[in-house]
Amino acid sequence: MTNGLLLELKAVDRRYDEGTRKLTILDQADFSLKHGEMVALVAPSGAGKSTLLHTAGLLEWPDGGDVILNGRACGRLSDDERTAIRRNDIGFVYQFHHLLPEFSAVENIMMPQLVCGLSRAQARERALQLLDYMKIGERAEHRPAELSGGEQQRVAIARAVANAPLLLLADEPTGNLDPATASYVFDALEALVRHSGLSALIATHNHELAARMDRRVTLEGGKVVDF
């Protein structure tokens, strides 16, 4: 886009019912993410990091305002249209890998590609390339239970980018790992993002990892502010 922005949140509100009152999580929140930019979202538990990621990723509807992805306003799109955008343009990584236990590493990465219509041969070739890039190509045929925590999370990252999305949203992607493994996994994630030109918004409690990104933001009073 001409303004260089991939993602924009404009005056986004997000509220939840809590008994007889409304709990406000996002309050006229504004945020923008440039093409190729890697931003850390650093905030305490309960501040609304997951809500912000889910709203930006079109998993939740804003109660007010709009989410604009690659110049397209998404606030009034149908469920089917939003699902198509998530499938093609957005990758998600969570603290827990959520791999399918009955499938091998390579099969887990093939799944989203098959959903998008690639042949098994095409999906497998790309999945193996991603596993090699994440330095776990030799673990391709292993099931999740046979992989270490760091290996499982690298498979999850590879799966998230299997369909070459424009945007990667990660919620504490190294939060379940020991410091040394977390650093190694983040190295792989950062290299993948930089190499592919992805835009990434990554929620983390790890200030060392956050400092390696292009900039840091936090949540205060339901608004996104520079950290």
Q: Is residue 55 pLDDT above 90, yes or no?
A: yes
Q: Are 154 and 136 in contact (CB under 8 A)?
A: yes
Cα separation, 115 vs 127, whole angstroms? 14
Q: Is residue 2 pLDDT above 70, yes or no?
A: no
Q: Is residue 29 pLDDT above 90, yes or no?
A: yes
Question: For the domain 36-63+71-226, what is the CATH code?
Answer: 3.40.50.300
Q: Are 55 and 9 in contact (CB under 8 A)?
A: yes
Residue 118 tokens, joined = 């690639």
pLDDT > 70: percent of the chain: 99
Q: Report, as an integer, the average pLDDT of 89-116.
A: 90
Can you spell out the DSSP letters for 188-219?
HHHHHHHHHT-EEEEE-S-HHHHHTSSEEEEE
- DSSP class of residue 145? G
Cα separation, 115 vs 85, whole angstroms? 13
| Positive or negative torsion for Cα 143, 173, 30, 33 | negative
Q: Report, as an integer, the average pLDDT of 171-182.
A: 82
Q: Are 134 and 92 in contact (CB under 8 A)?
A: no
At residue 101, the pLDDT reads: 92
At residue 89, the pLDDT reads: 92
Residue 166 tokens, joined = 């424009």
At residue 1, the pLDDT reads: 44
